[in-house]
A and B are shown apart, each in its own frame.
Chain A
Amino acid sequence: MSAATTSFIDRRTVVDWLGIVPFMIFALMFLIVPTLYLVTGAFFTPDGQFTFKNIADLFTPSIISAYWISIKVSVASSLGGALIGFFLAWAIVLGGVPSWVRSGLLTFSGVASNFAGVPLAFAFLATLGRTGLVTVLLRDWLGFNLYSTGFNILSFFGLTITYMFFQIPLMVLILTPALDGMKKEWREASEILGASTWQYWRMVALPILWPSLMGTTLLLFANAFGAIATAYALTGSSLNIVPILLYAQIRGDVLHNANLGYALALGMIVITGISNLLYILLRMRAERWQK
């Protein structure tokens, strides 16, 4: 390149960067700055003094218990979803079922993983609520009163099985490609070397799959942790999980400290952020074997 063209290149570079200005402005205004505003707000008092008090105040019993219930529901629904989702994905990839079962399940998973929010809560109320189909059938046919066992759809357990309705399909959708990537040769090689099915899974398949399994479980965890609509429609505000507490705080400052609300939001970002970060790291590890 001669010196004469330098200024032309510079101008071109400027034009290049101008092309993504609309997107960057959008991302800054509606994604990054609003989030940073809350994050920084968590470290200030209402009159602008720097403080760690808001963070410390998160460790009061009512807020701690909200985080604890949220974490329990998210862990339970992500582990349950991951387990059942894994077996379903295994069944359609390696279980030798007809191909229409596979395509049917994958299509259904695409729909069900997007069927969340308020209607999902209605569906489970109509099924497992006090007059729901399953509750009534168990009572009329088997004389079994579900609600006398202490079961309640408006509880930790109820919320967990409801969340699993979108967790399982998500696991199936993400894990099926990972299982598809398992090479036949690995299985054949281990069989030739005299490995049993159990040994193959324990020493070959699971070590290769665990980053995908762990990573997807973390993704499911974050997915459940940030969800609010289903829980709110299902339990109103009777189940004290973090998103519902934050919702109440936004509506009516129930914590009587706006900056404590920011700290609550920061806590959510930290938890979903860490699980997503670990997901990305594990995914990079998983891809080593899937080239």
Chain B
Amino acid sequence: MKTQKILAWIAIAIGVIYFFVPLIGTFEFSLRMRRGEYSVDAYQSVFSDMQFRETFGFSMVMALLTIVFGMLLVVPTAYWVRLRLPQIRPVIEFITLLPLVIPAIVIVFGYLRLYNSSSWLPFTGSTSGTNALLVLSYITLSLPYMYRAVDTAMRAIDVRTLTEAAEILGAKWPTIMLRCIFPNVMSGVLSGAFITFAIVMGEFTMAALLNRPAFGPYLQLVGANKAYEPAALAVIAFAITWFSMGLLQLVSRFSKMAPSRP
């Protein structure tokens, strides 16, 4: 089995080179702004750019709204399907997977035709309407991840017994949802939230075609016009992705360590 081990290490080495060289290259490039020496000038230039702060803030707000409204849609639906309509679970699952099949650019193309300012429901007629449509499009994009995360968490708890227990104790529907179901599927809600955050922060297609000043289109604009700032932004974006994925791993590890319910 000696050769097997050598081959395995060769595979790992190739992987490490392939993955790390671009990251090191990006980091090194981002430090090269001042001629002849390494400096953090590119980062300073990025952070002092008003547009960076505005677009970053905008995308952050969009991400938070997507998470809140997405979860308000997904958690009750997943709960209801498990409790009352288990027979249509395959249908719901199929629908939630559709955004992985239909490219984002096609979906937003459809929005622009259906909800333009001269249509029956003119979302894109006003700024707030377009923002709302952007959030709705992000909910669509993150539906596969959110639904799966929540549904997996819901499989671990006994939805029916929890609901009956709460009903016997006199709880009404809002209480059952907010005080029994949500806290118990928190790990799923959080993992769905982190991955949604990572997706929304860098998303380009939807925001660019809906003409909103989000972080993704800003990145593209900087990339087309500047030399060293894009590398610095790539490092920042990678850090954001690491941050959200790291939190996700932490949450899933934490929920695994929690005492298992019978």
Residues of A within 8 A of B (CB): 16-17, 19-20, 22-23, 26-27, 30-35, 37-38, 41, 84, 87-88, 90-92, 94-97, 101, 105, 107-108, 110-112, 114-128, 131-134, 164-165, 168, 222, 225-226, 228-229, 232-233, 236, 243, 246-247, 250-251, 261, 265, 268-269, 272-273, 276
How near does chain B come to A112, taking the closest CB pair, in angstroms?
A: 6
| Of A16, A94, A232, A246, the contact of B204 (CB 8 Å cutoff) | A232
A-B contact pairs, 18 of them (CB 8 A): A20-B81, A20-B85, A30-B137, A32-B95, A33-B114, A34-B110, A38-B109, A96-B4, A107-B245, A119-B237, A122-B230, A133-B29, A222-B100, A228-B103, A228-B105, A233-B223, A246-B106, A268-B103
Q: Could you say which residues of chain B place their CB within 8 Å of the CB of A233?
A: 204, 219-220, 223
**B interface bracket (residues with beta carbon within 8 Å of A):** 35 or more
In the complex, what residues of A have CB within 8 A of residue B88's CB?
20
8 Å CB interface, B222-241 against A: 223-224, 230-231, 233-234, 237-238, 241
Binds A, one of B20-28, B33-41, B157-165: B20-28
B57 at the interface (CB under 8 A from A): no
Contact indicator B104/A226 (Cβ below 8 Å): yes
Partner pick for B29 among A17, A34, A37, A126, CB 8 A cutoff: A126
Query: In this assembly, does B71 line the interface, its C-beta being within 8 Å of a C-beta of chain A?
Result: no
Q: Is the CB of B105 within 8 A of A115?
A: no
A222 touches B101 (CB 8 A): yes
Instruction: Say whether A84 contacts B14, CB under 8 Å.
Output: yes
Among A110, A134, A225, point to the contact of B103 (Cβ < 8 A): A225
Residues of B within 8 A of A269 (CB): 101-103, 106
Given contacts A107-B249, A118-B220, A127-B25, 9 further A-B contacts (CB under 8 A): A27-B95, A31-B99, A31-B102, A37-B113, A38-B106, A95-B12, A117-B219, A133-B21, A133-B29
User: Which of the residues A16, A127, A164, A236 comes within 8 Å of B26, measured between beta carbons?
Assistant: A127
Bound complex: CA A225 to CA B106 (Å): 12
* CB-defined contacts of A119 to chain B, threshold 8 Å: 202, 219, 233-234, 237-238
> Is B166 engaged at the interface, CB distance under 8 Å to the other chain?
no
Most central of B8, B104, B108, B237 by chain A CB within 10 Å: B8
Nearest A residue to B242 via CB reads A111
Closest 7 CB pairs of A and B: A95-B8, A34-B110, A226-B103, A127-B25, A126-B29, A133-B25, A119-B237
The yes or no answer to B156 lying at the interface (CB within 8 A) is: no
Is residue B76 contacting chain A, with contact meaning CB distance below 8 A? yes
How far does the Cβ of A251 sit from chain B's closest Cβ, in whole Å?
Answer: 7
Let me know if A265 and B106 touch, CB within 8 A.
yes
Residue from the list A16, A123, A228 in contact with B234, Cβ < 8 A: A123
A226 & B249 in contact (Cβ 8 Å cutoff): no
Identify B216's interface contact among A17, A27, A118, CB under 8 A: A118
- CB contacts (< 8 Å) of B19 on chain A: these are 108, 112, 165, 168
B67 on interface, CB distance cutoff 8 Å: no
Asked if B99 contacts A121 (CB within 8 A), the reply is: no
Residue B118 is within 8 A (CB to CB) of chain A in the complex = no
Residues of B within 8 A of A265 (CB): 105-106, 109-110
Checking B15, B22, B95 against A31 with a beta-carbon cut-off of 8 angstroms, the contacting residue is B95
Task: Looking at the assembled complex, report how far the CB atom of A148 sits from the nearest CB atom of chain B, in whole angstroms.
Answer: 20
With A19-B84, A90-B8 known as contacts, the answer to whether A105 contacts B29 (CB < 8 A) is no
Report the minimum CB–CB distance from A155 to chain B (whole Å). Answer: 17
The one of A27, A133, A222, A273 that contacts B28, using a Cβ cutoff of 8 Å: A133
B139 at the interface (CB under 8 A from A): yes
* C-alpha gap A96/B111 in the complex (Å): 51
Instruction: Tell me whether A126 and B21 are in contact (CB under 8 A).
Output: no
* Chain A residues with CB below 8 A from B248, complex form: 110
Taking a contact as CB atoms under 8 Å apart, the answer to whether A34 and B204 are in contact is no
Contacting B209 at CB < 8 Å: which of A84, A90, A111, A251? A251
Picked from A23, A88, A118, A225, the residue with its CB within 8 Å of the CB of B223 is A118
